[in-house]
Chains A and B, each alone.
Chain A
């Protein structure tokens, strides 16, 4: 505004009037110890829209009967500031009612990374217009979800389903028993494997330290979930024994620069296995919680 060079451009606020509710879910003792979370499903009960309101909506804005429901994880930091992460979002119709499912596995993963089990899981549920713009309908105003009541156990209050696998059955064991040979039936474990660098031709005169190192490897097999579970989780492939944590290998090597030779330290990432685990192909790799 007031510039000699630019023509004034006035903007207009679009009223977003999203309705946002905060769900507070106690998580204490919900996840069994030594278990792997496969999926977390939030189920919200969408209440039927009264007939009269439906008819009035059809008259006023017949364009669309959809609204967008978005689930965000709310992280209240120690300094009191808030941060949200988008977890799931889908369209619902005002002509439908009943249970609506949202995949909130990632929110539970974030909550687990906080390592504060007594803190509740906070989920922000927003109902917004199907899309932005002057032509968007106002169907979202008719979407209502049954909320957490003051008393527990009301039939239609939000439900959080946690689907886990017991790692005592489906997980790995720590290190392999050096006395026992590895066979078909050996459960996934970490086995010692020594790498002799001095035995490698290319390392001669070049690698000064170490002469060799324990790299370890993951061997053995993992128990597969029963048929019924694989049917329930079609996105998961077979469970495999993999290196779930690795660490780097520092070395001292000789470097020739300008005809002179000097010793230098270099670190090779992911060279040694720290931990073996059973994991399924296709299971989402949890996003790491940013500080």
Chain B
């Protein structure tokens, strides 16, 4: 997995053409709500269990 592949996949998933311009102040004011964190943890656990078809 290369850096380009990760960035390409992320842009594709978010249907963005380029990296959004966010700065330090944006990041600092952003708080991750509990339900978003819970969704993230659930996906993480599932991805460790799930097996997808490789190449």
**Which B positions have Cβ atoms within 8 angstroms of A?**
1, 3, 6-7, 9-10, 13-14, 19-20, 22-24, 26-27, 29-33, 36-37, 39-40, 43-44, 47-48, 50-55
Contacts and interface: CB of A to CB of B under 8 A. Distances in A.
Nearest to B49: A247
B20 A252 contact: no
Interface stretch (A91-99, A133-141, A265-273): A265-273
Contact of B30 (A217, A242, A249, A263): A263
A205 B22 contact: yes
Contacts of A248: 43, 47, 50, 52
A215 interface: yes
A217 to B, nearest CB: 8
B43 A254 contact: no
Interface string A233-274: 000000000111111111111111000011111111111111
Given A267-B13, A268-B9, A269-B9, A261 B54 contact: no
A40 interface: no
Contacts of A208: 27, 30, 32
Given A206-B19, A261-B22, A251 B51 contact: no
A174 to B, nearest CB: 15
5 contacts: A206-B19, A209-B32, A243-B55, A251-B40, A272-B1
A250 B20 CA distance: 19
B1 A242 contact: no
A195 interface: yes
Contacts of A288: 53
Given A205-B27, A266-B14, 4 more contacts: A217-B1, A254-B20, A270-B54, A274-B51
Contacts of A266: 10, 13-14
A275 interface: yes
A268 B13 contact: yes
Nearest to B21: A256
Contacts of A78: none
B52 A270 contact: yes
Contact of A247 (B22, B30, B48): B48
Contact of B36 (A197, A244, A252, A261): A252
B47 A254 contact: no
B51 A215 contact: no
Contacts of A254: 20, 22, 26-27, 30
Given A208-B32, A250-B44, A268 B37 contact: no
A251 B23 CA distance: 19
Given A256-B22, A269-B9, A247 B52 contact: yes
